[in-house]
Structure 1
Amino acid sequence: MAKNTSGGKYVRDWETFGETDPYFGVLSHEQYRKDNLTADALREFFVSGEEHVQEVMQAIRTHCAPQFRPQRTLDFGCGVGRLLIPFARVSGQAVGVDISPGMLATARKNCDDASVQNVTLVQGIDRVEGEFDLIHSYIVLQHIPQKLGMSILDSLFERLRDDGILAVHLTFFNQVSRPHGW
């Protein structure tokens, strides 16, 4: 199994975000900075998560499986629970994975505040057990070094049920020079 908790600057960066500015660490808009965070901004933050999950579920039901109802959902890079909470509401069980203890502590509080009780929080993909019929990750992998990201993708695939769905956001940048400027 790949480990994403094995050190490195990116781990320290996310541990710091989790302790000092967790909402901004998830969505880097000034309104989500700790010193700017209002009740309205926090509500908007979580509404954006609900809307994202609705869009993901609609896309799955439209293009993959019309009757899809996940029993076990994994949200990789769950942060403070912005997407994990709405996934928990449409799943039998939801597992949130993050490398930051501060993010996980805030996610636990947010799950409790939202009365969501079917959530398990795990620090690091290497500690996740079992298979999932939905694995999701959004705006996470772009922050992870490429080789480690590939290893994490392998770990996610290992945990996907045979008939499961993987919904992962990937940002790709190829540094090969373009002789014609395109």
Structure 2
Amino acid sequence: MDEHRNTDRDWEQLGREKPYWAVIISSKWDVPKEEIDPSEYIEPGRQHIDDICSRHPLATLDLGNITAVDFGCGVGRLTIPMAERCEHVHAIDISSAMRSEASKNAALLGQNNVSFHETPSSVPGKIGWINSFIVFQHIATRNGLGLFDQLIDLLAVGGVISMHFTYARRSKAAARKADELVVMSARDGKIEGLVEPNFPDNGKMLMFDYDLNKIIARLQTRGFESLSILFTDYRDHLGVNIIGQKGKT
């Protein structure tokens, strides 16, 4: 089913029309972007990064000397707090509109140590920390696993990941096949089951579950010896935030 939908087009449209709402679905942020206070919007992201950085092994790293990646940067909600801690952050987002908004916010909040990329392929060097939160869930799994491979290959020995994936759904949704699509309407945030071939128009959020066996196998074969898992549950979509450090392969 994955190959039938290019979610890149959805996010380019969402980035143009509702960039802040598309990251955090709340009527509070469903307003013209000119009315958004970036400092207020980013504060919960700063709290999230504070929590992640308090956990092993990130808590043991000298982040001030580390180059990091924020994959799926959106408007910079996590990128900017990461840049406050790290020497440099490479912010990646497929949506040029999102990258433009994130760049504006970084400059507004005094973070000039961020560079922006469309894909991981343009990120130079080896990376000390790769972060991604509530991003892969909106990428068709076949494409997402390929991007995951690219990101992990960027990680230096001793580097750390904090990366989030959805893997199942509660109640009736949990019984569906893992590759079935769920659409979150851009109009009202309602989650609806979606069965092929009734794909929605562009500009809607699609949710994808990942096979954690494939994720963990990729990490183990690339030198990760142990992982920490934090569970997430958003509107009955079950997920994991995986934290781990790359050892010698």
What SS does structure 2 have at the residue aligned with 1:130? Answer: coil
Cα distance change of structure 1 residues 51 and 127 upon mapping to structure 2, 3 Å threshold: same
Structure 1 residue runs without a partner (length 5+): 1-6, 178-182
Partner of 1:92: 87
State the shift of 1:176 in Å. 5.4
Identify which of 38, 61, 68 aligns with 1:73.
68
Identify which of 16, 24, 41 aligns with 2:13.
16
Return the TM-score normalized by structure 2: 0.62
State the shift of 1:80 in Å. 0.6
Cα distance change of structure 1 residues 176 and 23 upon mapping to structure 2, 3 Å threshold: closer
State the shift of 1:34 in Å. 2.6
State the shift of 1:106 in Å. 0.3
Cα distance change of structure 1 residues 33 and 89 upon mapping to structure 2, 3 Å threshold: same
State the shift of 1:25 in Å. 1.4
Partner of 1:52: 48
Please list the CA deviations of residues 114-147 of structure 1 after superposition, one character each: whole Å capped at 9, or x if unmatched.
0101100111122222211100000000000011
State the shift of 1:38 in Å. 4.8
> Higher strand share goes to which structure?
2
> Higher helix share goes to which structure?
1
Return the TM-score normalized by structure 1: 0.84
Amino acid aligned to 2:30: R
Q: Does 1:152 align with 2:129?
A: no
Structure 2 residue runs without a partner (length 5+): 169-173, 179-249
Q: Does 1:113 align with 2:108?
A: yes
In the alignment, the residues of structure 2 paired with residue 66 and residue 136 of structure 1 have an alpha-carbon distance, to the nearest angstrom, of 14
2:53–2:59 CA contact under 8 A, matched in 1: no
In the alignment, the residues of structure 1 paired with residue 167 and residue 8 of structure 2 have an alpha-carbon distance, to the nearest angstrom, of 21
What SS does structure 2 have at the residue aligned with 1:151? Answer: helix
1:69–1:90 CA contact under 8 A, matched in 2: no
1:138–1:168 CA contact under 8 A, matched in 2: yes
Partner of 1:163: 158
Identify which of 131, 136, 143 aligns with 1:136.
131
Alignment RMSD, CA only? 2.1
* Greater relative CO, 1 or 2 (CA 8 Å, sep 6+): 1
Cα distance change of structure 1 residues 91 and 74 upon mapping to structure 2, 3 Å threshold: same
Say which one has the larger Rg. 2
What SS does structure 1 have at the residue aligned with 2:60? Answer: coil
